Each structure stands twice: as structure tokens, then as C-alpha cells.
Structure 1
């Protein structure tokens, strides 16, 4: 005798939930089948009709119905007991992902310094279950990438910063800024130098070294642009000829740049540069240098040379540690690299030296007076005038 048809009663909330599972494309096929079994049974379809419609056995249909009647909707649909909809990743699981992404891969024992998306995804899948988040075993790389982007976490990139190691940075910075203010006060509204009543000027020079400028020669000649190829063609191979150091300063009153090309940048080279300045400016004037704390600037050899000159001939104003940007010459070096040194090829170190000097001649033919603006409004002119 055939079994009598029967139906089950499901709530509107359960009906909506089952329909949402059926529409989910990424869910397992057997979950979709079980959702249909419950929906169709609530419409009083026979077990055989449901089985034929889904291509499964009648026992499979009856087992799903029994599990629903005895244990509820979740155990009827899913093989393991779950709290709520399993398609959702819990906040705790997401926090665990963030904690992993915020470590370096070398922390859990890998060789790499930075994560790749593939490596991070693999690590999460391998360790999700032992961490108590089995759902994360099934997350995809696109989902992980999208979530990290949403959280603005980029463990695949490095963004450099400069640690302020000098605890007295602000005070030292305000030792330098009044110097720039004083230079500004030495110029009138038309940019002309104001000669003091004493006739003796203070010449402020922003100074630094640029070591390791490479002399590189072509192994094969360049080919200049033509109508057919509108760019310089260069062979990949080259020859290293050694390096040179550039010692240079900008006269902040005139904009003139003073160079010294050398084989090194030791104390003896720095003293050579000081001698150039000493010969350049009139006796009785003060030469004030803004410079960093390089050992050559305070060496025994340098102090011995300075002792041979009048006490106020040279005045050194040191920038705080790791603040090269406080020195105007750094902007000039950056400009020089872009305009002249980038891609340069020479046949000898001598040619490199000659072309560096030629560049300075070109710059000094039309000098630009540099003006410092950063935090200058914080400097009281009356206070600067008394320093």
C-alpha cells in the first residue's frame, strides 16, 4: 500500500532562508538539494516526486525530512552543526585574519619578509581549523584580497618612515630656522644685499657632501635619435670606472653654488673646501655653514685648521640628526641628479669631474636665491636679529 502524502510546516523566516540558499551560487549542490526538499515537502509533495525531481533516492529525501523534524533546519541542511548561516565569516575569524596579516611571514617561520596574497591565503587555509575558524578553510583569494582592501591593510608593501632619534629635535630645528630668517633679513625688498654699517657681512652657506657619484662608461656607443627612432638607444652593458665625491655649498645670499669634486670626502677634503671659502670671501667677514654632524666636520684635523683662523671667521650651525631636509643644499642635489647625473655616461672619471664643474658653471651663470619657507612664520624677526 503506497505511503500517504504528508507535509511539514516551516516558518516564513525558514522559508526565506531556504530560498536564499537556493539562489547562492557558491554553496554546495547538496545543500541546495536539501533546501529544495524541505520547501517541496512543505508544499505536500510526495517523497518519490521530490526524489525524482532532484535525481536522488527516496531514502535521501526521508533522511533530510527526519533530520529537520528531529533537530531543526541547520542539521537538516548541513552535515555539521553550525550556529546560524555558515556562509558568513564571524567577526572573531576576521580579527584572526587581520592578526595574521599584520605579522611578517618570518614570524610564524617562513623565509619571506613580506606576504604575497597566495602565501597569506594558503597559511590561513592551513591553520584556520586549529585556530578555531574552520569556515576560513573555504574563503577564496579574491574574498581575502577584498577584505584586506576594505580594512586598508597592505602586508605586501613597505612604506618607509624616518625615526626621530633626536629627542631634542624641535629645539635643534629652531636653532637652524633663525639662520634662514637672518638671511632673509639681509636682503631688501628688491632682493639686494643690505651692507651693514660695519661693512662686514655674514655669508651663510648651506653645505653637504654627495659621495659615490658613479663614473660609468658605455661598452658600446649610444645611437642618437633619428626620424625613424626618436629616442636615444643604448646597449645594456656598461663599464664601472669608479666613483667621485662632490662637496658643495650654496651661498644663500647670492644663490651661487660652490663645488669641489674629490676622490673622497674625508677631513682633508672638507678642509680643502673651507680653504676655498676662506679665499673667496673678504677678510673680516663671517662665513656661516649650515651642515650635518658628519665626523669630518668636527674632527681633530678640522679643529686644528680652524684654530689657525680668526675665531669668528667660520661659524658652524649643525642640523639635528637625520634631518637632511633642513639643509637647502639637499634640494639642489636632488635637482642636479635629475638634470645632469641621471643616465650620464663618460669615458673617464676625469670627464665626469669636468662635466660636474661645467654644470655648476651653467647654474651660476643665472643663479637662483633659495628661500626657506617651512615654519618661518614661527620665527620672530626681532628675536632672530639678536641671535
Structure 2
């Protein structure tokens, strides 16, 4: 057994995704390569000695040439003709029903004269989901490449003697109260709450996530202007040790570039702003933290006043900082730029076709 074959078989043997039969077969061949006898191997791996001999013989004559392939005539025959599959795919991806935006399995089944379960099987096997649509927007920022390289560099290789903060504002956070009392969860029934609510005011949450530790500096303020932004910068200035530079990742909101903010920065040279490209909020890790805050605290919260809302947010931040967990950034700038380049190419091709 060559080293290449051994590496392939070891990978299959450790796999949790490969077919069980292939995993067992790989382990049997590896055991055989170590000199174990057929009966011993069969007993250890739950197969017959005849099966072990057949696998060893096939490997001796063919190696891994036909590994994983099913011999002709074996296995379940496809029950859906290839022509039907091709037609289902073509119509699903190229056409739409009259007056509608997408097909359902029943409407397409009626169109083609097949059962809706047939359509559903083809969609499931090929990963077609006409009922779903993903949102996206490719940034047109002229400095997109430079900004991506800058921000990803801060995530993957942060500067020494500095703290990197992913910062943004969550504006107009509503203090919502339900119109009727909610019912608690009991065995056999989920907790309930009314679908309608009463608005009791709003607040704006300014938050900055330390990308290294996961700790959060947060402050709720009544509005979303440059005056409030300056207050938050002063809060960060007080909480970050004086011997550290502060690198802030943020979006291109006009408040962040106000003349008074620029004047403040000139007096505080340890602060450095890094702006994400336009339409690229996904580059800012604080957006992930905002999502968690919404899911775990705000969405099902009941707040009779703005102070109650603020107290709840501050409690969530305090709990976060007692056991912080940083988000692990793995994507390189090169991989992001390649992906965006492919998206732009696809968009241009689609525009040319239209």
C-alpha cells in the first residue's frame, strides 16, 4: 500500500460524512496493511471473512481506481426519468407561472402532469428552493478593496498596544409592551404573547465590541446625532487604558464624519477610524452582536417604559462582559475580494442577458 493510498484510506476511515460501508471498507484495508488476518479483521469490524477477502483482492488488482463506484446493474434504479428531471429544472429556473413570481410543487406538477411529490423530490435532491430568496447587495465603493484589506487585517492581525473595537449604533430601539399578559411555557405548549403591542418610546444604543476579548462598551442615549456620538467616544476614552491606541471600525454614517467629530479626533490622536465599504455592514462584527441582543433580549422582552428597556439592555451587556466570547473571524481579504469579483461578474452577465 502506497503512502498516497494510505492517506486517502485514513481520511475515509475518519470521515463522518462518507457512506458507512465505505468507512468500514477503508478501516478493513488499513488493518490488512498492518498485517492482521482475515478472520481477525472480520471479527473486529463486523463483516464476514469472505467480504474481507473480496475487498483485499479488489484492492490488490485495482487499488483505489474504482473506489466508491457502484458496479453497473447494482443499486436502486432511478424512478424519475432523466427527461422529466431536466424539464422540472428548466421550468423551475427559467420560467414562472402566469401572474405569479415562482412555482409551488403543486402548480409545477399540474403544469407538467406529474405528482407534486415528484417535483418535491427533484427540488430536494438538487437543492432548488423557489419559495425562498436570499438578499444581497454588492458594494460599489470605489475604495472597496482597500477598506476590506484594512478591516480584515485588523481582525486577523491586530496592532500591538492597541484595542480594536467594532462599533455602531442601533437606533430607535422600541420599548414595547404587550396589550395583554403573556402566558408562560408549560409542557406541551410554548409560551405565548399577543401579536399587537403598545409603543412606550425609543432609545439609541451605541455599542463597541472588543474583537479580541468579546467585551462590549455600551451606552443608551436619547438620539442619534453627532453630539451623542461624541458622548460615546468620550465614554470609550474613559474605559480604554490610556496607554492603548483605539481603532474603531464603523460605517459611513454622516454623524461619524461631522466636523465636530473630526475636531475631537485631532485632540485625541490615539483614536483611529476605519470605515467599512458602503453596503457592507457584514464586515462589522458588532452587527452580529446586535443580532444576538435582538434574539436573546429585545424580541420577546416586555418593556413598560424606556428606562425599563435601558435597564434590560445594560443587564444584557453586563452578563455578556462577565463571560465574553469573541467572534472568530476566519475569512481572508483575498477570499472576500475573489467572492465579490465573482458576484460582480455574474451581475454583469445577467445585465447583459436582459
TM-score normalized by the length of structure 1: 0.54
1:101 to 88, 92, 103: 92
Q: What is the aligned partner in structure 1 of residue 130 from structure 2?
A: 155
2:292 to 307, 330, 335: 335
Give distance in 1, aligned partners of 2:214 and 2:195.
38
Q: What is the aligned partner in structure 1 of residue 330 from structure 2?
A: 374
Going from structure 1 to structure 2, the CA distance change for 1:103 and 1:301 (only over 3 Å counts) comes to: farther
Give distance in 2, aligned partners of 1:152 and 1:330.
29
Q: What is the aligned partner in structure 1 of residue 178 from structure 2?
A: 218
Output the aligned Cα RMSD.
Answer: 3.8
Q: What is the aligned partner in structure 2 of residue 288 from structure 1?
A: 247
The CA deviation at 1:210 is 2.0
The CA deviation at 1:224 is 4.6
Q: What is the aligned partner in structure 2 of residue 180 from structure 1?
A: 155
Give distance in 2, aligned partners of 1:179 and 1:372.
13
Q: Which SS does the other structure have where 1:339 is aligned?
A: helix
Comparing 323-332 with 350-359, which one deviates more in the overlay? 323-332
Structure number with larger C-alpha Rg:
1
Indicate yes or no: 2:80 matched with 1:120: no
Q: Does the CA-based 8 Å contact 1:114-1:157 persist in structure 2?
A: no
Going from structure 1 to structure 2, the CA distance change for 1:167 and 1:301 (only over 3 Å counts) comes to: closer
Unmatched segments (≥5 aa) in structure 1: 1-87, 125-135, 187-200, 379-387
Render the CA deviation track for 1:229-262: whole Å, top value 9, x for unaligned. 8864544443232433211012346643111213
Q: Does the CA-based 8 Å contact 1:252-1:369 persist in structure 2?
A: no
| Structure with greater helix percent | 2
Q: Which SS does the other structure have where 1:102 is aligned?
A: helix
Give distance in 2, aligned partners of 1:181 and 1:159.
28
Q: What is the aligned partner in structure 1 of residue 339 from structure 2?
A: none
Q: Which SS does the other structure have where 2:272 is aligned?
A: strand
TM-score normalized by the length of structure 2: 0.58
Indicate yes or no: 2:167 matched with 1:207: yes
Render the CA deviation track for 1:256-304: whole Å, top value 9, x for unaligned. 3111213333333222211222333455753221112222222344334
Comparing 260-269 with 289-298, which one deviates more in the overlay? 260-269
Going from structure 1 to structure 2, the CA distance change for 1:212 and 1:144 (only over 3 Å counts) comes to: same
Indicate yes or no: 2:234 matched with 1:243: no
Indicate yes or no: 2:221 matched with 1:271: no
Comparing 250-259 with 339-348, which one deviates more in the overlay? 250-259
Unmatched segments (≥5 aa) in structure 2: 1-79, 335-354
Going from structure 1 to structure 2, the CA distance change for 1:356 and 1:371 (only over 3 Å counts) comes to: closer
Give the number of the structure with larger relative contact order, counting CA–CA contacts within 8 Å between residues 6 or more apart: 2
Going from structure 1 to structure 2, the CA distance change for 1:95 and 1:272 (only over 3 Å counts) comes to: same
The CA deviation at 1:153 is 3.7
